[in-house]
Structure 1
Amino acid sequence: MSDVEDLYETDFEVGQSNLQRWGMDVHHPVFWVSAGLAILFVVGVLMAPEAAKGALDGAKWWSIGAFDWLFMAAGNIFVIFCLALIVLPVGKIRLGGETAKPEFSRPSWFAMLFAAGMGIGLMFWSVAEPTAYYTGWYETPLGVEARTPAAADMAMSATMFHWGLHPWAIYAVVALSLAFFSYNKGLPLTIRSAFYPLIGDHSWGIVGHIIDTVAVLATLFGLATSLGFGAQQASAGLAYLFGFEAGINTQIAVIIVVTALALFSVIRGLDGGVKLLSNINMGIAAVLLLFVFIVGPTAVIIATMGDTLIGYLGQIVSYSNFVGREDEAWMHGWTVFYWAWWISWSPFVGMFIARVSKGRTVREFLIAVLIIPTIVTLVWMSVFGGSALDQIQNGVGSLAGGLESVELAMFHMLENLPYATLTSVIGIVLVLVFFITSSDSGSLVIDAITAGGKVDAPVVQRIFWVIIEGVVAAALLFGGGADALTALQAAAITVGLPFTVVLLAMCVCLYMGLLHEKKYVVEGTSD
């Protein structure tokens, strides 16, 4: 590792160019290639949305069907790898060096990583997913018979499986790799930096350009897809509550509002923007959670928490297994799909978590990113999912007849509790603010990558990417509707296949770097 050690002891700067005329400071190949490919892709999808959807859907399902073993095995490796780092001596290493201090308090730090990681997904799927599994809306986990006591238990444990250790381990691998190589080894805060131990100076050449460009496109497409689908969900909720027309005009209006607020947030900066909104949103979410816990079937919810935890731990091996599954259709349609989606989002979420995690030890970082979110998810899913299943089993409300609309599942559950209109409005607000924080943090990530790893690039560049995210989502909705958004989602998930290999390589590089740090810093030896 002599070449690596030499680089670690010097400051390395990636070739960049100042575009002062536009107030920008970008890394030429990655910025222009990413922007160009994004524009070409959007134009192509708008010209033939149905054909694009068909082709990209085919690529997505081919990736999922042919490489299910890779996605499943990789997900298991990421969990084992992260849990091992927590207990190994390298867990004592501090990101940024022994004297580094955290930039944010623990509550603010956790709020930001959680809001960026999957806050919006928990709002959307905490009711819809267990309902789908229990009623057999689209297959059932492990082939259990729908609408049985066993189906109720598996509905909760399978939902927990998809939102527990595995997705957070995916994010943690990327986040820890980027934070370590940037803060401890002085490399730029960009995806390519994590691969220096394996590919050396090729990290700064064409190979590095490709890695960063793919990361930018995966982040941009993932955010634009979520923003587009989120606009559809929010407009459906507004139509359900207030009778608004859930058409394209309402959806575009939602995108404009979210983009405008994200612009305001990004101009205020990380501390006054994302951190403030994340803290507010987590506070509102906690109030909604407590309300449903108190006025809902409290005893059932408490029992559901225990049953879900026992079921999750007891079935995690069965859910993680990919050999000889009788419920292969369910595994492909849910688990492998989720793993590909989480992996496609990992550059964005991982890099943002790295950006706000300087000063934490490896052990503290992994506990916060892996264990604590899993516990919070257990509580959240048990409160909302447990309430929904209780209503279904007792024949109460719309959900008792099955999952009519994924977008409206949360509202259908809330309508059977007191102050349904108020809580539904709070739910819509939470969805929108989670999207704002995702858009804001996503623009920070894309900006850093396209600026060659700089974290203090001009604000105008973050503004550019925030606007691009909104324009892409709005253009696809307006020009191609659901077909265009589905095509974009399929493209993002297809990117998850090559990035799975990238993340596995990241594990190797990270362990090499941590061993190097432990030898020369923790043990106090010298070259």
Structure 2
Amino acid sequence: MGDSMSNPDAADYKVGQDNITPFGLDIHNPVFLISGLSIVAFVLVTLAFQQEATGFFNWLRPFLTSTFDWFFLLAGNIFVVFCLMLIVTPLGSVRLGGVDAKPDYSYLGWFAMLFAAGMGIGLMFFGVSEPMSHYDSAMGGISLEGGLRSDWAPLGGAAGDVEAARNLGMAATIFHWALHPWAIYAVVALALAFFAYNHNLPLTLRSAFYPIFGKAVWGWTGHIIDTLAVFATLFGLATSLGFGTEQALAGLNFLFDTPTGNGARVVLIAAITAAALISVLRGLDGGVKVLSEINIGLAALLMAFIIIVGPTTAIFDSVVSGGLAYAKEIVPLSNPFGREDANFSQGWTAFYWAWWISWSPFVGMFIARVSRGRTVREFVTCVIFVPTLVSIVWMGAFGGTAIEQVIADPAAAVQGAALELKLFEMLKNLPLASITSFLGIVLVIVFFVTSSDSGSLVIDTITAGGKTDAPVSQRVFWCTFEGLVAATLLLVGGAGALTALQAMAVSTGFPFTVVLLVMCVSLFIGLVKERKAMTAAAAVRQT
């Protein structure tokens, strides 16, 4: 164990030692109280002043993404480079949990939980709509949907060139779902797992900063870090749950002509939150793990169906050409300075990076909990490259099919459909449309449930000071308020509901970007010390 990590202030720290236990709860004072009361106040104030809140959200998102787009893009690049460095250096040989640790889950179960927690709802929502939006922009059109603006095509576009526009549209889409977001998740997950499993520190964000701040992480420095993590997680989750709600409602209306207004939004969020509560009560292995594996199986089935019955040749062309275009364009797409396609970088990329960063405490802690026993090299390689490959195939299947439909018929219904309806309009042109559309709705809802359940697990762990066995009633509290926050933002946002959701994700992702950059430094320090200790121990054994 490294010198800084052998400090008795860390070794003697007991998880939950400063918790209070009123009414059978197990509260980490003051993180639970500050974050819990702040969230309650946010819901009440936003509902009480809806008009003012709507104006504020409409101003906040474009202000942050246009002013700090360079910062989000630069930070995203740093996370990717840092992860690649861990793979190719000797630091990759460090094993999470120690040299004798064994993985708790098979690769299949591990990958299933990665995807279900990481970006399941997003892939369903944007799998068709985003490739189409970038293709349309690259061809010279304008896309302004759901607050995601692209009236200046990525990298200048390819006006009139169908093949070039498709490849550029696929490259721009893959860019938002591949290496960069998963590098963000990998940094947080690895830091949490390393300091928890190798140094017996609490499984909470503050522990990742011990090499820098020392015992101050058990005081207000740590309280601030954990509170920021709660806010980022909750609003990042609310954004995803909002996307899922809009798409599920649109799909139900598409199939069964059900209502789509505010009342329907509240009812659907309440029903799905209730399902998430049942999963909460079943625990990690009986709830999230089972649902994740079921959902990944259904998602793979739907993707395989589209590849087989859809324009198979065009899909494979989109996968291969799109993947190659992504590899070719990743440097100019990730350039944070002097861009001519500023509206693309601000309207899409900056929002995405802020969204992934706001999600990173949730996804990172969840991945950390299921990743004991992996080496750093194995962990980082799997977490960033396997999802990247799957995202390329997914976008090629869903987005490539939709683009091919528009190429064949520029007046195809999928072209003019609302963002949340594009998936169902694309499926409508394939066999068994009713069945596959219903399956799509089920996937969105189950991804919603697993995200809400695992999100409440993560927030509860943070607010309980790192305890993973806090009373279930606390997870019920957080699960309930995740639904309330999502419903509040959707209700207040009105026609611009998705803009309101995105505004809160960006506003919490911005300060947490700074936290993650410092976390990279702290993790590097910890891994270097661990590697030196491993080398010294190996030398002793040889003598």
Give 1:422 deviation, angstroms.
0.6
Distance 1:519 1:201, change over 3 A: same
Give 1:46 deviation, angstroms.
1.1
The answer as to 2:106 corresponding to 1:92 is no
More moved, 80-89 vs 289-298: 80-89
1:229·1:485 contact (CA, 8 Å) conserved in 2? yes
Alignment match, 2:26: 25
Q: Summarize deviations over 1:167-208 as a string: whole Å, max 9, x none.
A: 000010001001101111111000111111111122111111
Alignment match, 1:487: 500
Distance 1:511 1:242, change over 3 A: same
* Aligned length in residues: 525
Correspondence 1:191-340 to 2 at 5 A: 191-340=205-354
SS at match of 2:420: coil
The answer as to 2:90 corresponding to 1:77 is no
SS at match of 2:26: strand
Alignment match, 2:394: 380
CA distance in structure 2 between the aligned counterparts of 1:19 and 1:147, rounded to whole angstroms: 65
Q: Summarize deviations over 1:104-139 as a string: whole Å, max 9, x none.
A: 111011100111000111111111001111112232
CA distance in structure 2 between the aligned counterparts of 1:200 and 1:282, rounded to whole angstroms: 41
Give 1:20 deviation, angstroms.
4.8
Alignment match, 1:410: 423
The answer as to 2:106 corresponding to 1:105 is yes
- Give the CA RMSD over aligned residues: 1.9
SS at match of 1:54: helix
Distance 1:522 1:360, change over 3 A: farther
Give 1:340 deviation, angstroms.
1.1
Amino acid at match of 1:330: F
SS at match of 2:340: coil
Give 1:439 deviation, angstroms.
0.3
Q: State the TM-score, normalizing by the size of structure 1.
A: 0.95
Correspondence 1:505-524 to 2 at 5 A: 505-524=518-537
CA distance in structure 2 between the aligned counterparts of 1:201 and 1:424, rounded to whole angstroms: 53
Distance 1:307 1:89, change over 3 A: same
Q: Which runs of 4+ in 1 moved over 6 A?
A: none
1:93·1:522 contact (CA, 8 Å) conserved in 2? no
CA distance in structure 2 between the aligned counterparts of 1:504 and 1:454, rounded to whole angstroms: 25
1:156·1:308 contact (CA, 8 Å) conserved in 2? yes
Distance 1:2 1:97, change over 3 A: closer
CA distance in structure 1 between the aligned counterparts of 2:514 and 2:10, rounded to whole angstroms: 29
Give 1:322 deviation, angstroms.
2.1
SS at match of 2:336: coil
Give 1:225 deviation, angstroms.
3.1
Give 1:52 deviation, angstroms.
2.0
The answer as to 2:368 corresponding to 1:354 is yes
Give 1:146 deviation, angstroms.
4.7
Give 1:521 deviation, angstroms.
2.1
Counting aligned pairs with the same residue, the percent is 56
SS at match of 2:487: helix
1:45·1:484 contact (CA, 8 Å) conserved in 2? no
Amino acid at match of 1:80: V
More moved, 300-309 vs 222-231: 222-231
Give 1:465 deviation, angstroms.
1.1
1:263·1:440 contact (CA, 8 Å) conserved in 2? yes
SS at match of 1:407: helix
SS at match of 1:408: helix
More moved, 138-147 vs 125-134: 138-147
SS at match of 2:30: helix
Q: Summarize deviations over 1:387-427 as a string: whole Å, max 9, x none.
A: 11110101076346x34300001011111000011100000
2:468 corresponds to which of 455, 470, 495: 455
| Gap regions ≥5 residues in structure 2 | 138-142, 144-149
Alignment match, 2:123: 122
CA distance in structure 2 between the aligned counterparts of 1:514 and 1:412, rounded to whole angstroms: 49
SS at match of 2:99: coil
SS at match of 1:495: helix
2:509 corresponds to which of 492, 496, 499: 496
Alignment match, 1:59: 60
CA distance in structure 2 between the aligned counterparts of 1:124 and 1:177, rounded to whole angstroms: 30
Give 1:253 deviation, angstroms.
2.0
